[in-house]
Amino acid sequence: MHRQEDWNLKIRGRDVTVRVVLDGIGRVGQGTLTGFHVVYGPSQIGLEVRVESREDAAAKTEALLSELMGADWY
């Protein structure tokens, strides 16, 4: 069973919505990051990044944003 959740995170002072597909029952917080959207910023869909928690999703999203926007984005 799969379900999709949108997690609202704060990354470098920006609101970021991270769409995560969670697999199976009992794996709370574990899933696959499938996309993200930054308010007044970039979005990316079609991702397949495994995450273990909201904190892991935030760290991996920040790394993806750094690749897109440069290491010094704010």
Buried b (16+ CB within 10 A) or exposed e, 4-37: eeebebebeeeebebbbebeeeeeeeebbbbbbe
Q: pLDDT tens for residues 58-67?
A: 899 888 888 8
Position 12 scores a pLDDT of 85
pTM of the model: 0.77
Q: pLDDT tens for residues 14-46?
A: 888 988 887 654 556 688 988 888 888 888 889
17 DSSP β-pair partners: 8, 37
Position 15 scores a pLDDT of 87
Position 23 scores a pLDDT of 67
- Residue 55: helix, strand or coil by DSSP? helix
